[in-house]
Amino acid sequence: MRFPAVMGRFYPASYDGLRSAVESCFTHPLGPGLPGPEGSDRRIRGAVVPHAGYMASGMNAAHAFRAIKEDGLPEAYVIIGPDHYGTADGTVLCSEEFATPLDTCKVDVPILEALMDVFEDDPSAHAMEHSIEVEVPFLQYIDPDPKIVPVMMGRQTPQEASRLASALRKACEGRDVVVIASTDLAHYVPKETAARLDSMVESRVRSMDPDGLYSDVRSCRITMCGSGPVMAAMMFCEGCQARVLSHTDSFDSLGLERDSVVDYMSAVFEKE
C-alpha cells in the first residue's frame, strides 16, 4: 500500500474534509463549476493538470477533471508526475495501490505489468512524491472506481519522454485510457514574469510541440517542474488537438506574494 505523503498539508486528512475540499475546487470562483453528466463518445486521450496544494491550484485542476468526467470515464488513468526529491533513476513505476482519505485507489495491473517490461517498479521511490498523489482524490471524486498507473519521471528529456510514450502506446493498445501529465509551471517569480514565460509553454502545448516545449524550458530557464510528463503525454496523444482550459497563478488563488508566484495550467488533448 502506498500511504499518503502530503495528506494534511496539500489537502485535508479526513474523508469529509477532503471531499468538501475537492468539491470546493469546482465551485470556487476560479473553478469550472461541478461536472455534469458523462458523455458517451469519448474524445479526451490526455490532460495536463497542476499539483500544488488544493487552495493554490485545485481550482485550476478541476477544469481538466470536469472535462474528463463530462467526456466519459475511461477504463484507466496513467498519471505521469515529475520527481521532486531525486529518488527516481530514470522513469519508475509504482505497483502499490494508493491510499487516500476517500478510499484505496487500485492500480491497473495489465497496463502496469506491460510497462514493467521497459521500466522498473520501485514503490519506495514514490513514497514521498506528491505530484501523483494529489491527483488521485480528484479521480476518486469524478469516478466511483478509478484505476491508475503511477509513473514518475526522474529524467525529463525528449528521449525519455519518447521512450515512455512508445511504451505507453504498446501497453495501452486496445484499452480506453487517459494519460494525465502532472506539472506546475514557473516557480517563485513575479506575476508578470511568470505570465510571459508561461505564455511560451501554453503556446507549445496548444500546438502539440514537445520539442519546442523542451527548447523553451531550457533556453529561457522556465522553472516548470513537469516538462517531461507533458512531453510524454503530447507524444502519446500525437494527432490530437490541445485545448487549454485554465491558466492561473498562486496570486490569483491565494492573493499572496505577487512578486513570487507559481503558475498553473490545465489542458486536455482530444481526438479530432
pLDDT value of residue 2? 96
Which domain covers residue 38, as residue numbers? 15-270
Number of domains in the chain: 1
Radius of gyration of the chain (CA): 17
Give CA–CA dist 268/272, Å, rounded.
12
Could you tell me the mean pLDDT of each successive run of 10 residues in the chain, 272 residues long?
A: 96 98 98 93 96 98 98 98 92 98 98 98 96 98 98 97 98 98 98 97 98 97 98 98 98 97 98 90
Q: Note whether residue 200 is domain-resident.
A: yes
CA dihedral 217, 223, 229, 235 (to 10 degrees): -20
Sign of CA dihedral 147, 143, 141, 225: positive
- Asked whether residue 50 is domain-assigned, the answer is yes
Is residue 136 a part of any domain in this protein? Answer: yes
Q: Which residues pair with 248 in a beta bridge?
A: 264
The reported pLDDT for the residue numbered 40 is 78
Asked if residue 9 belongs to a domain, the reply is no
pLDDT of residue 272: 86
For residues 116 and 75, the answer to whether their CB atoms sit within 8 Å is: no
The pLDDT of residue 214? 98
**Does a structural domain hold residue 8?**
no
- Nearest residue to 65 (alpha-carbon basis) of 11, 145, 139: 139
Cα distances from 239 to residues 44, 209, 214, in angstroms, run 12, 11, 19
Asked if residue 203 belongs to a domain, the reply is: yes
Dist. CA 141–CA 10, nearest whole Å: 16
Q: Is 151 part of a structural domain of the chain?
A: yes
270: Cβ contacts below 8 Å, ≥ 6 apart? 43, 44, 45, 240, 241, 242, 243
Residue 25 lies in a domain: yes
What's the burial of 75, exposed, middle or buried (CB within 10 Å: 0-12/13-18/19+)? middle
Helix, strand, coil share (%) of the chain residues, nearest 5: 40, 25, 35
Q: What is the pLDDT of residue 88?
A: 87
- Nearest CA to 84 out of 154, 144, 177 is that of 154
Q: What is the structure's pLDDT at 39? A: 85
Read off the pTM.
Answer: 0.97
Task: Indicate the helix (H) or strand (E) that contains 107.
Answer: strand 103-107
Question: CA-CA distance, 235 to 164, in Å (whole number)?
Answer: 9
Q: For residue 31, what is the domain's CATH number?
A: 3.40.830.10
